[in-house]
Amino acid sequence: MLVKRVIEVAAIPLLFSGLLLGSTAASAHHSFAMFDQSKSVTVEGTVKSVDYANPHVWVEMTVMNAQNQPTTWAMEGGNLGGLYRMGWTKDTVRMGDKIKMEVHPIKDGTPGGQIMRVILADGRVLGRGPGAPAQQQ
């Protein structure tokens, strides 16, 4: 009986701590706090890889830095549904494409950012801001 009572009493705090810690991790995962929303930079380069996986798309680009050395930039896009409404499909950006991206850079200076707009080689603009098409509903 004592073991059963200990389990009953301990289960409630364990349940609440699990809920608290789980919601904190989920909230942190969906945060864009690592990006400097007050700044915008445009980088030009060659797509190294694209990962269209829920919940976000990731694009790695090879960009030439100020010393004319290739640098890999890691860009995080929005959720797949939101990107689709902006005109993205799984074939929009592919490895080897030469593109420009406007991003909110990572605050600590790491090469990367949050994707705001993409200018494709054919001149099409995807994302938010001037030149971007209206979002589909």
pLDDT digits (tens, 9 = 90+) for 14-57: 444 443 444 444 444 556 788 999 999 999 999 999 998 878 89
pTM listed for this prediction: 0.70
Residues in the chain: 137
Averaged confidence pLDDT in the chain: 79
CB distance 115 to 134 below 8 Å: no
Distance CA 20, CA 43 (A): 39
All residues at 6 or more sequence positions from 38 whose CB lies less than 8 Å from its CB, including other chains:
none
All residues at 6 or more sequence positions from 81 whose CB lies less than 8 Å from its CB, including other chains:
none
Residue 128 vs residue 123, higher pLDDT = 123
The mean pLDDT value for 105-134 works out to 84
Counts of helices then strands in the chain (DSSP H, E): 2, 6
Task: Tell me the three state secondary structure of residue 13.
Answer: helix
pLDDT at 137: 42
Residue 13 vs residue 80, higher pLDDT = 80
Count of other CB atoms within 10 angstroms of residue 58: 15
Q: Distance from CA of residue 127 to its chain's centroid?
A: 13
